[in-house]
Structure 1
């Protein structure tokens, strides 16, 4: 029964991806429809002027300007919609297959975050993704996407008070043969009383907000089932407003990927360490 619920949670994440991409596609497609409609009206007026013999040089010049601008904007918006569809296809395949491939880290994070953008916009949260666009790794993008999605969702549910504007972000850094991805939410942190329980199935302190208690448990399963991923949880002293960070360390030489959930300020207490390699 538990395994079925975990799989249902994974499918829900995929459903959120579909909804997020559909939401993002709606804007460029809607803009393109409006521009095309305007261009159609202008074309009809231009044709009427030609047929009536009332065509002036200024009318022709104005029509050409409108047509050129409309075509440029339509192409730009539909190109954006096409890019979103391609992103959705790749992330959806990755999350369903959990296969291994080579991919650029920062652009892939941007694709994954697209699925969460409606939640950011609704709550006015801000997401920043920084780093070198060219950093590549060979690993399991589906597992990475699932872990990132679960951790970000966990921040959105637990890190902020109602109406509070959150600042979340990723930073991709490469030093020599080591690739590191930092994640932060700058939220209120995890209470010490629940730190030892957050990976347990069905444990949640926000069920009224839609928390299922399965997000971090799925993350735990992905970590323990994948030798390339490790997660370590640490916390700082109470009252220090710690910044939460997920650190994904990837060794290019031996294709090892580590995920560490940390507290950046006064990291004094290791709460949990999952399988090391």
Structure 2
């Protein structure tokens, strides 16, 4: 079953006008369809989906999201009773658009995937492409550019598929693909498709497209230093816009590109003024992405020209914009998630009520007939309801017990993983100490072996009456040198063993002791010295202040070892020398403040809020469990009673600050 042929054709035209934003035609077709009296339930669902989509440019409200969910619910029921799948696909596509607008990208892609499967089963190529286009937009919005390329490339390189698309569909596909290549720093691929699009635009009488393609290609030429070609393309775009005014957004984009050309031509003052104009235009039109780029490029231009006050002002505006957008996004995400959760609960309740609906209707009809004859039957009905409530409560209690059991299992698994992490750290330390002991012990063995050979030769000479004064002198000299080497080597080995023993005792103890943190730091650095030397890392511990702590030295040693190992595995991975690790410690307002700083790769901004989360790692599947920094966080906040925070940005190194009280009364348990 499905839409009747004429209704299906009208809906297809309606989709075309929605895609091209022709509001007048959309309103006309919606009104015509609403006046028809031959629409099936499935037709009404498909029509309502398009009405909701038409209302999206005016903003997304919770009521509209609820309507989208209700359409999916109605379509699923229709699919069960009449095996009609197209309305469900239409409703899912509509829901995916609202979920995308609410920044719930994962849910949007899931809804879109269900719709895509239905359209593929129906062999509906037009709507399949519409799903592809929407998926590409969602992936672009979430900066998943490689995934966008993976979805779009098979279509772009399939001549048969491309030939089946309309001019507008083909254009939309290639624009999205070129943009994804550009964001992935694949300029050759991006330029290849952009040149094709610009060549086509020159042959078509479509000013908006010619303007957009000229500006996009100018941008590609600009970043590879072909400024003359970029100026020519911008001149084409400007002439097109003057002859056929496009819209304010395109004017802003044109200003932005003129500013970029001026910057790359060395005209910094002119570029900064153009960036300001682009900023004002973008702000007046609420074009937040373009505004962010204008502020960033203006700051970079000012920094290149040495105009530090201008650069600082632009960076400040950029930060204020990012903070306001982040706050708005968090608020929107919070409201959207609350709405989604509320709707999920409502769906579950409605599902339960539907399942029981027919039975309750029969029971209520029967009770209404019996009400006039017997009060006893009413009491029986009340008892049945009480039993149902008791069963529901029992089911809820059973569910709570199961959730509690699963929570205990997860906690047990986390404890096991933390123990494994500790065991791995201990193995790392033992291997380092064993490696460090090899040299002094080997030297001692070599010295004693040499002395043994010399003594054996002298004994033999004595037994054979060949002993000379010169032989005794050489033996004495060899014995003295050998004893000196062996003594120094054994002393070095003993010192290493004492340091490792001290560190092992600290890490195994879980009690409050008075100690000097400088000793714990030195022991930890001594044990980890082989790994630091192997990675050519310079250690600067001159900024440490001697102080007396009443705390848990074992916990402090574990935290230090974990933080240094984190710098080795993440901060200095594939990092060119010089690699530096600095430690400094001071007393501040009753706390011992210890800072560990490296000049490594740093941490991306989007990862900073999650570094202490259990199982969070950027090297998943490469030996990292994601528990190291979580374990350090627990030790600092629980065993040491302090605070830990990380200051970092991508490419700018990382600083970890520990703020530990000078005295804690008892170990945390």
| 1:82 matched to 2:504 | no
Secondary structure (helix, strand or coil) at the match of 1:164 reads: coil
Aligned to 1:226: 639
Aligned match for 2:527, one of 99, 115, 119: 115
- CA distance in 2: counterparts of 1:180 and 1:193, whole angstroms: 26
Please say which of residues 220-229 and 59-68 is displaced more in the overlay: 220-229
Aligned to 1:268: none
Aligned to 1:71: 483
- CA distance in 2: counterparts of 1:77 and 1:133, whole angstroms: 31
Task: Determine if contact 1:138/1:255 at 8 Å carries over to the other structure.
Answer: yes
| 1:2 matched to 2:414 | yes
Question: How big is the shift at 1:82?
Answer: 1.8
Secondary structure (helix, strand or coil) at the match of 1:210 reads: coil
Task: Determine if contact 1:130/1:172 at 8 Å carries over to the other structure.
Answer: no
Aligned match for 1:95, one of 507, 521, 534: 507
- CA distance in 2: counterparts of 1:32 and 1:108, whole angstroms: 28
Task: Determine if contact 2:443/2:489 at 8 Å carries over to the other structure.
Answer: yes
Aligned to 2:536: 124
Aligned to 1:263: none
Aligned match for 1:204, one of 592, 600, 617: 617
- CA distance in 1: counterparts of 2:522 and 2:446, whole angstroms: 27
User: Residues 192-222 of structure 1: CA distance to partner in whole angstroms, max 9, x if unpaired?
Assistant: 1111111111111123542211100101111
- CA distance in 2: counterparts of 1:167 and 1:21, whole angstroms: 22
Greater relative CO (CA pairs within 8 A, separation 6+): 1
TM-score normalised over the length of structure 2: 0.35
Task: Determine if contact 2:603/2:654 at 8 Å carries over to the other structure.
Answer: no
Secondary structure (helix, strand or coil) at the match of 1:98 reads: coil
Please say which of residues 176-185 and 18-27 is displaced more in the overlay: 176-185
- CA distance in 2: counterparts of 1:7 and 1:137, whole angstroms: 27
Secondary structure (helix, strand or coil) at the match of 1:129 reads: strand
Aligned match for 1:43, one of 440, 452, 455: 455
Q: 1:69/1:209 Cα in 2 relative to 1: closer, same or farther (>3 Å)?
A: farther
Aligned to 2:655: 245
Question: How big is the shift at 1:125?
Answer: 2.6
Q: 1:55/1:163 Cα in 2 relative to 1: closer, same or farther (>3 Å)?
A: farther
Aligned match for 2:440, one of 21, 28, 36: 28
Secondary structure (helix, strand or coil) at the match of 1:102 reads: strand
Please say which of residues 12-21 and 96-105 is displaced more in the overlay: 96-105
Question: How big is the shift at 1:176?
Answer: 11
- CA distance in 1: counterparts of 2:452 and 2:606, whole angstroms: 64
- CA distance in 2: counterparts of 1:48 and 1:130, whole angstroms: 56
Question: How big is the shift at 1:172?
Answer: 4.4
Question: How big is the shift at 1:45?
Answer: 1.7
Q: 1:63/1:5 Cα in 2 relative to 1: closer, same or farther (>3 Å)?
A: same
User: Residues 61-101 of structure 1: CA distance to partner in whole angstroms, max 9, x if unpaired?
Assistant: 22212211211221111122222222222222322232222
User: Residues 168-194 of structure 1: CA distance to partner in whole angstroms, max 9, x if unpaired?
Assistant: 232345689875433221112111111
Secondary structure (helix, strand or coil) at the match of 1:170 reads: strand
Which is richer in strand?
Answer: 1
- CA distance in 2: counterparts of 1:209 and 1:176, whole angstroms: 42
Task: Determine if contact 2:615/2:627 at 8 Å carries over to the other structure.
Answer: yes
Question: How big is the shift at 1:126?
Answer: 3.0
Secondary structure (helix, strand or coil) at the match of 2:581 reads: strand
- CA distance in 2: counterparts of 1:29 and 1:107, whole angstroms: 25
- CA distance in 2: counterparts of 1:225 and 1:134, whole angstroms: 24
Aligned to 1:181: 594
Secondary structure (helix, strand or coil) at the match of 2:515 reads: strand
Q: 1:66/1:170 Cα in 2 relative to 1: closer, same or farther (>3 Å)?
A: farther
Task: Determine if contact 1:16/1:115 at 8 Å carries over to the other structure.
Answer: no
Secondary structure (helix, strand or coil) at the match of 2:642 reads: coil
- CA distance in 2: counterparts of 1:195 and 1:51, whole angstroms: 77
TM-score normalised over the length of structure 1: 0.79
> Highest CA radius of gyration, 1 or 2?
2
Secondary structure (helix, strand or coil) at the match of 1:169 reads: strand
- CA distance in 1: counterparts of 2:468 and 2:421, whole angstroms: 63
